[in-house]
Amino acid sequence: MKFRVKFTLCMIGLMSVLFGIGGSLLLNVSFDRAVDREREELYSVYQMVSGTLRVIGEINGSLTCEDISDTIFKTTGQDEGLWEMIRFREDGERLIYEDGDTSLTVSGQMPEKGTCDIRRQTQGERELLFLSGALLTDAGKVRLDMARDVTELYEERQGWHRIYQGVFILMVILCALMSYSTALLLTGNLEKLSGTVRKIADGDLSSRADTGSGDEFGQLGRDFNRMADHLEETIRGLNDEVERQERFIGDFSHELKTPMTSIIGYGDLIRSGMLDGSEAAEAGDYIVSEGKRLEILSMKLLDMIMAKNRPPVFVRTSPAELVRRLAEKTAPAYGERGIALDVRTEQGELLLEPDLVYCLLRNLVENAANAMPDTGGDIRITERIRDGKCFVFVRDNGRGIPEDSLAHLTEAFYRVDRSRSRRAGGAGLGLSLCREIAEAHGGCIRFKSRLGKGTVVMAVLKGERNEQPG
């Protein structure tokens, strides 16, 4: 059941209860007051008659039945508006005086002297109020019975009830129309929002809610649109990440396939005995070189996984010490290739993950060395600490990188010169790993290069500076 139907039914039920109870109470209270007025008027007649008779008794010294008859006839006998019937009986039996509708009968015992009893009775189709009172005369106790016709009041009440029923039905219809219209107005914006949700669920991420109104529904639409924008951005990022992972898997499969095919092929030739000594040695060398390249690839992948998934444990570390340690280990090997290392550092400490930072430095230097021509070259490593950040610059005078390749350098398995990278044992993971490590430290990595002139790589690592004296 839709909300507008529920709302309409609830409003009809609420209105029916309130209007029904309120109307019934109003009609009943009005009727009871009208009946009370008739009782009061009947009682006033009783007081008038009894008061008149009491005065006459005091004047004459006694009150006889004849006095009652004469007095009532002279004073009120011709006024039909006061009663429908009036009757006097001596000792409740012998008729003294009677006027009005004599067919009316009064039941019940005679009240005590000076008191009266008023009650309602139905006789035929008439509704009557009967008053019974007691008077004391010389002849004994006299019973006074009076009747007043209130049938008109009951007929009016029935008429008002019929009018009220009609008004009630009309109010129910109006309430239903107004409630449904109000619910339709309230739920119209919700239906539009629901339609937008369905479109987004069906894949239309550009769909947005209507925010034209300035009320709460407009605010809801604006909040929903902000959520949709965030959702669209998140999904776009997830799609990009999926694409990167798919490219990564494809490149990784390709990187594994080529050396594994070669290793398996040369292994089969060696096992078959079809190669002579020199050919078998050459095949073995190739298998060893490809195996080393696979080893390097696996180690790079392991480092990437560790950098991405392992929460870094930051400790106070000297970046200058890491740079000097790297230079001491790599300088001899690079010297044999004609590559000179120039290290310039600045004293200070930051909160870093030392193993990851050392891995970043090693990969930046290896990448610079692989960019050198066969004749060698120079690599300068500069480390600076500014404003709580560590800046590492690795400059080389190698072949340089085309401008259109700079934006792709940190992509996994991307290589500017694939053939040369393969010969050098590279897998295209070094700079991607450097990016992961820099981002784990809240930093970034940037490139600047000129073909034939060399490349500058800047890595920024955030931390806390602790200056060391001298």
Residue of 399, 343, 392, 331 lying closest to 368 (CA atoms): 399
Rounded distance between C-alpha atoms, residue 122 and residue 144, angstroms:
20
What tokens were used for 307? 């950098």
Contact at 8 Å (CB) between 161 and 67? no
Q: What is the DSSP letter of 209?
A: -
**What digits encode the pLDDT tens for the residues 43-79?**
888 888 777 777 777 666 666 666 666 766 666 554 5
Q: What are phi and psi of 393, to 5 degrees?
A: -115, 130
CB atoms within 10 A of CB 78: 9
| AA letter at 392 | V
Helices 3-60 + 151-201 axis angle, to 10: 160
Please tell me the predicted confidence (pLDDT) of residue 340: 92
CATH code, residues 208-309: 1.10.287
Residue of 348, 397, 345 lying closest to 368 (CA atoms): 397
Helices 277-309 + 430-440 axis angle, to 10: 20
E strands within 8-139?
A: 85-90, 94-100, 116-123, 126-137
**What digits encode the pLDDT tens for the residues 122-135?**
888 888 888 888 87
Please tell me the predicted confidence (pLDDT) of residue 138: 63
Strand, helix or coil for residue 415: coil
What tokens were used for 331? 């300088």
Rounded distance between C-alpha atoms, residue 132 and residue 121, angstroms:
13
What tokens were used for 234? 């998140």
CATH code, residues 3-158: 3.30.450.20
Rounded distance between C-alpha atoms, residue 439 and residue 403, angstroms:
23
pLDDT of 323 above 80: yes
For residue 276, what pLDDT band results from cuts at 50, 70 and 90?
A: confident
- Provide, rounded to the nearest whole percent, the portion of the chain with pLDDT above 70: 81
Contact at 8 Å (CB) between 466 and 351? no
Could you tell me which residues are beta bridge partners of residue 95? Answer: 89
Please tell me the predicted confidence (pLDDT) of residue 466: 41
Please tell me the predicted confidence (pLDDT) of residue 380: 94
Rounded distance between C-alpha atoms, residue 154 and residue 157, angstroms:
5
Please tell me the predicted confidence (pLDDT) of residue 297: 66
Please tell me the predicted confidence (pLDDT) of residue 64: 65
For residue 461, what pLDDT band results from cuts at 50, 70 and 90?
A: very high
What average pLDDT does range 359-379 have in this prediction? 88
For residue 143, what pLDDT band results from cuts at 50, 70 and 90?
A: confident
Mean of the per-residue pLDDT values for the chain?
80
pTM assigned to the model = 0.47
CATH architecture under which domain 311-470 falls: 2-Layer Sandwich (3.30)
Lowest mean per-residue pLDDT among 74-78, 87-91, 172-176: 74-78
Q: C-alpha distances in angstroms, 462 versus 267, 307, 311, 381, 387?
A: 49, 16, 16, 18, 9
Please tell me the predicted confidence (pLDDT) of residue 115: 74
pLDDT of 382 above 90: yes
pLDDT of 456 above 90: yes
Lowest mean per-residue pLDDT among 15-29, 243-257, 401-415, 417-431: 417-431
Per DSSP, the chain holds a count of helices (H) and strands (E) of 9, 12
What tokens were used for 240? 């990009």
Strand, helix or coil for residue 199: helix
Please tell me the predicted confidence (pLDDT) of residue 21: 87
Domains in the chain: boundaries: 3-158, 208-309, 311-470
Q: Which helix (H) or strand (E) is 335 found in, with range? A: helix 319-336
User: Please, what is the end-to-end C-alpha distance for the chain in angstroms?
Assistant: 81
For residue 467, what pLDDT band results from cuts at 50, 70 and 90?
A: very low
pLDDT of 220 above 70: yes
Please tell me the predicted confidence (pLDDT) of residue 193: 78
Burial class (CB in 10 A: 0-12, 13-18, 19+), 373: exposed
What average pLDDT does range 370-380 have in this prediction? 88
Please tell me the predicted confidence (pLDDT) of residue 465: 42
